[in-house]
């Protein structure tokens, strides 16, 4: 499958994800005889992170740049048994390498990268079943979905003779060059739309969840790969080395495809959370 074939397949998959979360975010009717007053939780996230883009097309990648450990902190404010607002800060690492690809074009391109991702944001959670951390609540398990908005900071790096160097300042695709006025240096501070699905389990005053959350970004430079090769004479010696890692001469690749600017990159945080209910026992009123 060509690079464009991989990207088209990925776009269709991601559109299905967005449609799924839209359809299932419609509120379900609650049949509980209790009205649950708002209460708060604090918790930890522990899991892994990975990315989807030009240098990786698969979920839970292995190989040269596998999934990496990730962690975070969060505060959850439960509005009622179905809805909660969560504010969070997460840190993880992502990466990708053409050496893991089965595509001949990508194998010959021979690019790779790694980057940390630091994110902070807020999401709205929807529990399919009424769920609360109080002793009289009968239900102890519920699936849930979430969506929201977050800020993130990233810094793609490439390996140059055993040393990892920052790629954004180099302008590996001619960004910042007068020869390409339309190619500005990309911002490493970005916004994303997080969305995901999970399962919550109640253990007295604690909640344990398993969740998978994907982030739609608005940049195609999470991996520093997006458009075409440029004349190496327009680049510094270091940038030229990082731009072309293939066995072909840089002159023969001028204006040839390097990435696919028609789509943007995505990244994922997945794992478990453990949270603790703050304050006194939530007061529940019988509505009958």
Average pLDDT over residues 41-69: 90
Please report the pLDDT score of residue 67 as a whole number.
81
CATH number at residue 147: 2.40.160.20
Q: Distance between CA atoms of 225 and 101, rounded to whole angstroms? A: 15
Please report the pLDDT score of residue 280 as a whole number.
75
Please report the pLDDT score of residue 110 as a whole number.
95
Q: Residue 134, Cβ neighbours under 10 Å: how many?
A: 19
191 is a domain residue: yes
Render pLDDT for 98-133 as a digit per residue (tens, 0 to 9): 999 999 999 999 999 999 999 999 999 999 999 999
Please report the pLDDT score of residue 200 as a whole number.
98
Please report the pLDDT score of residue 35 as a whole number.
67
- Provide the mean pLDDT of the chain: 88
Contacts of residue 213, defined as CB under 8 A and 6 or more positions apart, other chains included, come to 146, 194, 195, 196, 198, 268, 269, 270
Contacts of residue 188, defined as CB under 8 A and 6 or more positions apart, other chains included, come to 153, 154, 155, 168
Q: Distance between CA atoms of 21 and 194, rounded to whole angstroms? A: 11
Q: Residue 68, Cβ neighbours under 10 Å: how many?
A: 16
Average pLDDT over residues 248-275: 96
269 is a domain residue: yes
pTM: 0.85
Task: Retrieve residue 140's tokens.
Answer: 């102890």
Strand-pair category, 39-52 with 266-277? antiparallel
82 is a domain residue: yes
Q: Which domain holds residue 124?
A: 3-25+38-280
Q: Distance between CA atoms of 3 and 258, rounded to whole angstroms? A: 10
Q: Distance between CA atoms of 191 and 277, rounded to whole angstroms? A: 30
16 is a domain residue: yes
User: Do residues 209 and 88 touch, judged by C-beta distance below 8 A?
Assistant: no
Q: Distance between CA atoms of 238 and 113, rounded to whole angstroms? A: 15
HEC profile of 42-95: EEEEEEEEEEEECCECCCCCCCCCCCEEEEEEEEEEECCCCEEEEEEEEEEEEE
Closest CA relative to residue 223, chosen from 238, 242, 237: 242
Percent of the chain clearing pLDDT 90 (strictly above): 76
Query: How many domains does the structure of the chain reveal?
Result: 1
Please report the pLDDT score of residue 48 as a whole number.
96
Q: Is the pLDDT assigned to residue 278 strictly greater than 80?
A: yes
Task: Retrieve residue 1's tokens.
Answer: 């499958």
Q: Distance between CA atoms of 57 and 277, rounded to whole angstroms? A: 39
């Amino acid at each position: 499958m060509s690079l464009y074939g991989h990207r088209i397949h990925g776009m269709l998959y991601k559109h299905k994800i967005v449609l799924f979360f839209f359809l299932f975010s419609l509120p379900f009717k609650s049949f509980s005889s209790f009205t649950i007053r708002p209460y708060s939780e604090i918790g930890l996230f522990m899991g892994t992170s990975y990315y989807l883009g030009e240098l990786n097309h698969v979920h839970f990648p292995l190989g040269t740049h596998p999934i990496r450990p990730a962690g975070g902190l969060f505060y959850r404010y439960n509005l009622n048994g179905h809805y909660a607002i969560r504010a969070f800060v997460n840190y993880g690492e992502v990466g990708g390498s053409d050496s893991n690809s089965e595509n001949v074009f990508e194998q010959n391109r021979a690019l790779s990268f790694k980057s940390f991702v630091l994110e902070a944001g807020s999401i709205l959670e929807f529990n399919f079943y009424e769920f609360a951390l109080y002793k009289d609540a009968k239900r102890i398990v519920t699936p849930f979905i979430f969506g929201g908005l977050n800020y993130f900071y990233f810094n793609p790096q490439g390996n140059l003779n055993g040393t990892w160097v920052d790629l954004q300042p180099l302008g590996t695709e001619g960004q910042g060059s007068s020869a390409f006025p339309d190619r500005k240096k990309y911002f490493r501070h970005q916004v994303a739309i997080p969305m995901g699905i999970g399962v919550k389990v109640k253990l007295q005053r604690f909640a344990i969840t398993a969740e998978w959350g994907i982030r739609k970004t608005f940049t195609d430079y999470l991996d520093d790969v997006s458009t075409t090769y440029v004349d190496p004479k327009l680049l510094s010696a270091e940038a030229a080395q990082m731009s072309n890692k293939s066995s072909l001469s840089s002159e023969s690749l001028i204006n040839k495809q390097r990435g696919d600017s028609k789509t943007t990159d995505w990244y994922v945080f997945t794992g478990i959370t453990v949270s603790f209910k703050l304050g006194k026992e939530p007061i529940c009123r019988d509505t009958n």
